[in-house]
Amino acid sequence: MVMKGNSRTRFSVQAELETSTLSRVLELFTIRGMVCDTLSARKTNDGLQWIELDCSDLEDQHATVLLNKIRQIITVRSAQAETTLLAS
């Protein structure tokens, strides 16, 4: 169980530079009714795409499911999620 305002989960995704990758990643959050706190997407110098999303108070089980779904997107090369507990 996660207490409100006490954690932040950051999803970091490295993918091939493809126009549909960002929308596919965001769709996974949207169909679960989730709104991310921050979103960053950029093109790297080596022709890849780097996407980072921060979500507050996400339960570990939901983060694991989302991470596995992100990794199933064909253009995704790597993805990780890291949860940080915030000071109360």
Q: In Å, how far are 8, 14, 30, 87, 88 from 2, measured between CA atoms?
A: 10, 27, 20, 14, 13
Domains in the chain and their CATH numbers?
7-85 (3.30.70.260)
Write the pLDDT tens digit of every residue in 59-71: 999 999 999 999 9
Write the pLDDT tens digit of every residue in 2-42: 455 689 999 999 999 999 999 999 999 999 999 999 999 99
